[in-house]
Structure 1
Amino acid sequence: MESHIKRMFVRFVLLIIMMSVCGVRAWTGEIHGRVVCDVCGDSSIGPEDHVLEGAEVAVLCITKSGEVLNYQAFTNAKGIYTVAETMPESDRWDACLARPIRSFHEHCTHLTEGAGVKFKYNHPSGYFHTVRPFIYRHPSVPAYCM
């Protein structure tokens, strides 16, 4: 058993050495954004507005090699979603489209117009791209907003 573990460790070390000698470099990218409920529908952030936890967002990216990658993310308690990937430098993201899919909030379910965001991803490894917030609204404006 012990010799089997030693052989696996040696193979792992050899693989790492081969990757570094052959010039295979890893690249890491990250996309994040926020989903917000604009309660009064006034397009400004006020005390009545809040982030949406659990909102679903899709991110579609095309790599430099032409591969299409589709990601799905949900917002956390701060209304932030994150998509991250590590891949070879030659296959890194070239362009992406982020779009909201659905809000699970019982009142804030109407998406504002122009919700999808297309962008070129030209950041070096380890950097991120921030997408503008996606805004949902109430179907009818509450009385306290008027």
Structure 2
Amino acid sequence: MEAMKQKMIVELIVLLMMVFVLSVSGWTGEIRGRVVCDVCGDSSLGPEDHVLEGAEVAVLCITKSGEVLNYQAFTDAKGIYTVAETMPESDRWDACLARPISSFHEHCTRLGGGSSGIKFSYNHPSGYSHAVRTFVYQPVNVPTYCI
């Protein structure tokens, strides 16, 4: 009988701990964007252009509590990078800066105009994503079929 009481007490404590953990509110945010190669350097995306896999992007965010967070992301096979974070609501992102760092594609390494960095306020509630404008790289030598 005593063992049964102890087991019930342990189960009750575990249940209360689970309820407490689930009731703690957290905030989740996400920042995502794309990096592409503008092969002809004409500032318009066409069939000759392609996404850049492995391009490096830095995202710097300041939180509501004043903490500065620095993230590093690389693009996937679809040219998309993602930064995500879960934190207390009081520490959520307030404003961020996303900027391209480098392209590892051997033919597309020159940063296109207007792609130096993007500042933005992060006003989304928990669970939402902010889409950043596409960063563009161009080749150092434009292929002859573009001229």
Which TM-score bucket, shorter chain as reference?
Answer: 0.7 to 0.9
Q: Detail structure 1 runs of 4+ shifted over 6 Å in the superposition.
A: 9-12
**Which residue in the other structure is 2:75 paired with?**
75
Listed as ranges, the matches of 1:9-48 within 5 Å are 13-19=15-21, 24-48=24-48
Structure 1: which 5+ runs fail to align? 1-6
For residues 142 and 123 of structure 1, do their structure 2 counterparts lie closer, same or farther at Cα, with a shift above 3 Å needed?
Answer: same
Q: Residues of 2 paired with 1:13 and 1:118: CA distance?
A: 44
Q: Deviations over 1:4-28 (max 9, x none)?
A: xxx7x8776544444566xx41000
For residues 112 and 12 of structure 1, do their structure 2 counterparts lie closer, same or farther at Cα, with a shift above 3 Å needed?
Answer: farther
| Percent of residue pairs identical | 74
For residues 61 and 18 of structure 1, do their structure 2 counterparts lie closer, same or farther at Cα, with a shift above 3 Å needed?
Answer: same
**Which residue in the other structure is 1:129 paired with?**
130
Structure 2: which 5+ runs fail to align? 1-9
For residues 18 and 141 of structure 1, do their structure 2 counterparts lie closer, same or farther at Cα, with a shift above 3 Å needed?
Answer: same
Q: Deviations over 1:110-140 (max 9, x none)?
A: 0023320000000000000000000000012
Listed as ranges, the matches of 1:57-76 within 5 Å are 57-76=57-76
Q: Deviations over 1:64-85 (max 9, x none)?
A: 0000000000000000000000
Structure 1-normalised TM-score?
0.87
RMSD: 2.1
